[in-house]
Structure 1
Amino acid sequence: MGYWLRRVRLAVFQLVFGGLFLLLSVAVWQGIESGLPTGWHRAVDVAMGAVSLAFLVRGWIWGRRTIRSRLAEPPTPEQAWIRHRQARTGRGSANPDVGKRGGPLLFFAPFFPPCVAWWIGMTCATQFVRELPSEAGARKALNQA
C-alpha cells in the first residue's frame, strides 16, 4: 500500500507542478500577446492552443515509446541503483551562471506553453503505467535467482 501511495503522490506532485508552471507560462504568453495588434489575439490564442495540444500528444507518444523500450530491456537492480544514485548526486548543485542566462530564456518565452504541455504529456505517459522498468528488472532478477 505504501508503495502505491508513493507512486500516486509523485505523479500528483508532478502534475500539480506542471499545472502551476503551465499557468505561469500562459501568463507570460498573455503578456507577450498584449503587445500584438488587437485583431491578432484570437488567432494567436487558437494557434498556441493547437500547438500546445499537438505537443501534449507528442509528449504522450514519446513517453509511451520510452516506457515500452525500457520495459523490453529492463535494467538490473544494480543498474537501477546506480542510475538512482547518479540522479541524486546531481541535485542541488549551485550554479553561479544561472543569472547570465535570463536573456535567452526570455527569448524562448513564447515556446513555454507547448514545452510544458509536452512535459505534462510525457509525465502522464511515464507515470501512469502498471509497472515501471526498474520493477520489471527486479522481477526478472528474482525469477532468474
Structure 2
Amino acid sequence: MASRASSDSVAPAKLPLLGTSWYRRGAGYWLRRTRSVLVQFAFSALFGLFSVAVWQHIESGLPPGLHAGADMAMGALSLGFLVRGWIWGRRTIRAKLAAPPTPEQAWQLHRLARAGRGSADPDFGRRGGPLLFFAPFVPPCVAWWVGATCATQFVRETPAEAGARKALSRS
C-alpha cells in the first residue's frame, strides 16, 4: 500500500489560467476563477453597451409609434437567445466533462485560442459592408454570448481540471 507521502510526490499538472492551484482549490484558485469571470463580465458589459447603442441608432430611424413594439420584440428575442446560449453552454460543458482533455491537450487548446486573437482582417473594409445588414441582430447575438459564457464559467470544475484529475489518478 502506498503511503500518503509517496502519493503526494506526484506533482499536479499545470493548467492554463489556473496553474497548479486547481489541485488544492485554495484562495489562489478561487481568485483566478473569480478574475476570469470578472474579465468575461467586463467584456460582456462593453459588448452589451455597444449592442444597445447599435439598437438605439436603428430604433431612432423607426416611426415613433413602433418604438415600444420594436423594443418588446427585441427584448423577447434577446431573452430567447440568452436562454439558448445558456443551454448551448451547458451542453458544451457536459460534453467536455464526459471526455475531459488531458493537461497537454488543455495547453494546446489554450495556445490555439491565443493564436487566433489579435489577427485583424485586412480586407474587412471591403467585405464588412454586408455585415451592416445584420446590425439589428447584434443585441440577440450578445445575449446568446452572455448566456453561453455564464453557463461555461459557473461550473464547479472546468473540463481541464477534470482531465488533470483523471490523468493524476492514472499515474
Q: Offset at 1:12? A: 1.1
Q: Tell me the residue number matched to 1:9.
A: 35
Report whether the alignment pairs 1:81 with 2:107: yes
Distance 1:138 1:52, change over 3 A: same
Q: Tell me the residue number matched to 1:98.
A: 124
Identical positions, percent: 73
More helix by share: 1
Report whether the alignment pairs 1:57 with 2:83: yes
1:85 and 1:16 map into 2 onto residues whose CA distance is 23
Q: Tell me the residue number matched to 2:45.
A: 19
Q: Offset at 1:45? A: 0.3
Poorly superposed stretches of 4+, deviation over 3 Å: none
User: Higher RCO, 1 or 2 (CA under 8 Å, sep at least 6)?
Assistant: 1
Aligned residues: CA RMSD: 1.2
Q: Offset at 1:3? A: 2.3
Q: Computing the radius of gyration over CA atoms, which structure comes out larger, 1 or 2? A: 2
Moved more, 6-15 or 40-49: 6-15
Moved more, 34-43 or 111-120: 34-43
Q: Tell me the residue number matched to 1:109.
A: 135
Q: Tell me the residue number matched to 2:145.
A: 119
Distance 1:96 1:43, change over 3 A: same
Q: Tell me the residue number matched to 1:41.
A: 67
The unaligned stretches of length 5 or more in structure 2 are 1-26
